[in-house]
């Protein structure tokens, strides 16, 4: 009996910020669907190594590259290492992100520079480097946020600003890359159980009340959506902002 072909067999993916939470779930799902997957991490090499061993133990291929997404040289090196190791690059998931939640009077220029460097500039730098290696059918998948459309809490101005920037960047890149057969989409998760925003505590209680489903997403739910967007089934979707938010912005 022949082994069923996996939807991403033969593909190579790079996931930025791929060692924990949503990023780790995406890395594992892409690998499970047949892709060789590289991922970046900024700290905690132990977690990164454990993820590589888990994927390889399941018969997949994985590569961990230490890279702070605020460092353009490190981001470009991660792309280069991916191509050097696996020979190509078909899928880029711009997942790395940082969060600043402060009242406007407490925000600093340093906060601004850091969050823009990771959440916006890092996405541009990774994309510019990655698409040099992509062929027709390539995928760029940005992980944005439903907070680009709806911010029902105080202190989120900088975070919402950067995720709103990804909306415009995604649309512009889709126009630039469409003639080359490369698609660009912006996935906009709602409240999700992550290290930065755990499914517990007072903030979680409030956030759940904003969703139609009354709960947080689990990282695997976001990962399944991303993997589908990376598959041939999503070949005609580009320039789109796609919410997976449990009705948060309904």
Spatial neighbors of 207 by CB under 8 A, at least 6 apart, are 153, 191, 197, 216, 248
Gap between the terminal Cα atoms of the chain = 47
Residue 191, number of CB atoms within 10 A of its CB: 23
Spatial neighbors of 42 by CB under 8 A, at least 6 apart, are 17, 66, 67, 68, 69, 96
Residue 199, number of CB atoms within 10 A of its CB: 16
CA 141 to chain centre: 7
Residue 197 φ/ψ, nearest 5 degrees: -145, 70
Spatial neighbors of 206 by CB under 8 A, at least 6 apart, are 153
Known catalytic membership, residue 216: no
Which of 159, 210, 216, 248 is flagged as catalytic?
159
Spatial neighbors of 165 by CB under 8 A, at least 6 apart, are 116, 119, 120
Return the CA Rg of the chain: 17
Q: Are 190 and 244 in contact (CB under 8 A)?
A: yes
Which residues have a catalytic role annotated?
Answer: 159
């Amino acid at each position: 009996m022949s082994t069923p072909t996996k939807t991403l067999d033969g593909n190579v993916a790079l996931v930025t910020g791929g060692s924990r939470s949503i990023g780790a779930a995406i890395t594992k799902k892409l690998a499970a669907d047949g892709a060789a997957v590289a991922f970046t991490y900024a700290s905690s090499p132990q977690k990164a190594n454990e993820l590589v061993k888990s994927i390889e133990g399941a018969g997949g291929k994985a590569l961990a590259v230490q890279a702070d997404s605020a460092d353009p040289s490190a981001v470009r090196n991660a792309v280069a290492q991916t191509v050097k190791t696996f020979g190509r690059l078909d899928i880029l998931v711009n997942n790395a992100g940082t969060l600043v939640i402060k009242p406007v009077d407490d925000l600093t220029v340093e906060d601004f520079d850091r969050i823009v460097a990771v959440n916006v500039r890092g996405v541009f730098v990774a994309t510019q480097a990655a698409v040099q290696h992509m062929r027709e059918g390539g995928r760029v998948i940005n992980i944005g946020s439903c907070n680009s459309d709806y911010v029902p809490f105080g202190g989120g101005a900088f975070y919402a600003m950067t995720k709103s920037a990804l909306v415009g960047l995604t649309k512009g890149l889709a126009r630039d890359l469409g003639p080359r057969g490369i698609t660009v989409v912006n996935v906009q998760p709602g409240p999700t159980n992550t290290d930065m925003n755990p499914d517990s505590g007072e903030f979680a209680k409030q956030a759940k009340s904003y969703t139609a489903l009354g709960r947080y997403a689990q990282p695997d739910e976001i990962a399944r959506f991303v993997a589908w967007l990376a598959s041939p089934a999503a070949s005609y979707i580009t320039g789109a902002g796609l919410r997976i938010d449990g009705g948060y912005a309904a």
